[in-house]
Amino acid sequence: MNNFRDFPQISSLIKDENLKTYPLYLRTYFSKCVIKEMKKKLQKNLNENIEKTAILNEIQNKIKHFLKNDLQNLINASGVIIHTNLGRSVIDEELYENCKKLICSYSNLEFDLQTGKRGSRYDSLLEKFKILFECEDALVVNNNAAAVFLILNTLAKDKEVISSRGELVEIGGSFRIPEVIKAAGVKLHEVGTSNKTHLKDYEEAINENSALILKTHKSNFSLLGFQSETNLEELKILSKKKKLILYYDLGSGWCENLNPHLSKNEPEVKKLLKNCDILSFSGDKLFGSVQAGIILGKKKFIEKLKKNQLLRMLRVDKLSITFLNETLKFYLEKKFEKITTLKLLNDSLDHIKQKALKVQKNIKFKTSLQKSKSLVGGGSMPDKSLETFVLAFEGKALFLQKKFREKNIIGRVENKNFILDFRSIKEDELSHLINIINSMDTL
Ligand SMILES: *Cc1c(COP(=O)(O)O)cnc(C)c1O
């Protein structure tokens, strides 16, 4: 057909046999889209001949594309445990079940059951943070980026913040410390150089406009060779003497039961708190819970944050509060195996080997078992890796990577082989993984 009047009606397209299995809203929406596109095409070239089957095919392609983009489960065989693109930390099913009861019902989120008056949504978390971290006060916002913003905006607005040039970092997703400082209405006073910043650099920068010293954890890169930074203990003495606030943006905080290889030289939240006024970290990196910015520190500063009007815009939903609350309970009960991120990070090499062998034995394709190294990820511990076992497949690596990706299995290419890394694969995913691989005809 090459005439507008001959175009099929939407009502006839949505009844087509091949489209029938898809939901009506998708059939209707994409039929309209495709008809519009085809009419445009025809306007450009009146000789174009458009068949009804071409229209139907295009509708089906668009629906398939839409469904492929929908949120769905993946198997993370990349070996990167805190994988930002794959949703960072995974929630344990028992933890989820505990939350489900609270989320699927009304709760005392902001209601004081004793007085019958309005309560604070942060109260359920506060006491638990105090027990776990021995902090004076705590607050939770949407993510750690929001925490950095709120802290700077509240405690240093229209004043200066001092930061080492070696710590003016970019986190990814276009989050850059200098930009955030500017957006918070704070003037950045840079000190030192990219590789070295001494205590005297901070000292010399202090003037009547200084409000805060910011220390940022080098969470996603490491500096080797001729380098030095000023440590928190030295900055604590200086900030006290000069009556400045000392804030540590920790990024990815850990608190309990991390294996010694990973925790070596990594700052632990509880210890850091003794040396700064306020600190913040992400809820879904090493802490292993949901997206949140966890702020801990001195009561007099956190009270100020709570009074900032911006908090209303950065505040967390009951879903996040519920998940954090249940995570904190598991930490306090020392049920660390319920924190999936920690569980995977602490998994023994022997157990990882068993997981790999189980899959190797039960799939129809030939693989070889190899030792390799996994990354923590999530901008955490760039200079540390973890031993792991992988299964390497025979065949063209990039082709296989794509083929597995189409089946929602995310592996990586190493030494020209496509591999599945069992460090980041959970035990309860193994049978599903075996089934998917065996459902493939060939590799
Ligand atoms: C990850 C990170 C952030 C941002 O945290 P989000 O929770 O992702 O918003 C900020 N600062 C540092 C040092 C980080 O590592």
CB 379 near ligand 1, within 6 Å: yes
- Tell whether domain 93-338 is in CATH 3.40.640.10: yes
pLDDT tens digits for range 145-172: 999 999 999 999 999 999 999 999 888 7
Alpha carbon nearest to ligand 1 atom 3, residue: 251
**Pairwise CA distance, residues 315 & 334, whole Å:** 28
CB 31 near ligand 1, within 6 Å: no
pLDDT recorded at residue 329 = 98
Q: Give the residue-averaged pLDDT of 21-31.
A: 97
pLDDT recorded at residue 174 = 75
Work out the mean pLDDT of the chain and round it to a whole number: 94
What's the fold here for domain 75-86+342-439? Aspartate Aminotransferase, domain 1 (3.90.1150)
CB 380 near ligand 1, within 6 Å: no
Could you tell me what percent of the chain has a pLDDT over 90? 83
Q: Give the residue-averaged pLDDT of 7-31.
A: 94
The rounded radius of gyration (Å) of the Cα atoms in the chain is 27
**Pairwise CA distance, residues 35 & 46, whole Å:** 15
Alpha carbon nearest to ligand 1 atom 5, residue: 144
Mutate-to-test residue for ligand 1 from 85, 144, 376, highest number of ligand atoms within 8 A of CB = 144
pLDDT recorded at residue 264 = 81
Q: Is the pLDDT of residue 71 over 70?
A: yes
Alpha carbon nearest to ligand 1 atom 15, residue: 251
pLDDT tens digits for range 183-207: 999 999 999 998 999 999 999 999 9
Could you tell me what percent of the chain has a pLDDT over 70? 100
Let me know the angle formed at the C-alpha of 255 by 337 and 110, rounded to the nearest 5 degrees.
85
pLDDT recorded at residue 49 = 82
Q: Is the pLDDT of residue 6 over 90?
A: no
pLDDT tens digits for range 31-59: 999 999 998 988 888 777 888 999 999 99
The structural domains of the chain, with segments of one domain joined by +, span 4-67, 75-86+342-439, 93-338
CB 171 near ligand 1, within 6 Å: yes
pLDDT tens digits for range 208-231: 999 999 999 987 777 788 888 999
Atom of ligand 1 nearest to the CA of 172: 1
Whole-structure pTM value: 0.93
CB 378 near ligand 1, within 6 Å: no
**Pairwise CA distance, residues 336 & 223, whole Å:** 31
CB 252 near ligand 1, within 6 Å: yes
Q: Is the pLDDT of residue 2 over 70?
A: no
Residues linked to residue 413 through DSSP beta bridges, in sequence order: 418
pLDDT tens digits for range 282-329: 999 999 999 999 999 999 999 999 999 999 999 999 999 999 999 999
pLDDT recorded at residue 1 = 63
List, in sequence order, the alpha helices (H) in 310-395.
311-314, 318-332, 340-346, 349-362
CB 249 near ligand 1, within 6 Å: yes
- Length of the chain in residues, anyone? 443
- Measured in Å, residue 12 CA sits from the centre of ligand 1 at 51
Alpha carbon nearest to ligand 1 atom 6, residue: 144
pLDDT recorded at residue 219 = 74
pLDDT tens digits for range 368-409: 999 999 988 877 787 888 999 999 999 999 999 999 999 999
**Pairwise CA distance, residues 228 & 419, whole Å:** 38
Atom of ligand 1 nearest to the CA of 145: 9
CB 216 near ligand 1, within 6 Å: yes
Q: Give the residue-averaged pLDDT of 251-268.
A: 83
From the list 23, 26, 29, 30, the residue with the least C-alpha distance to 56 is 30
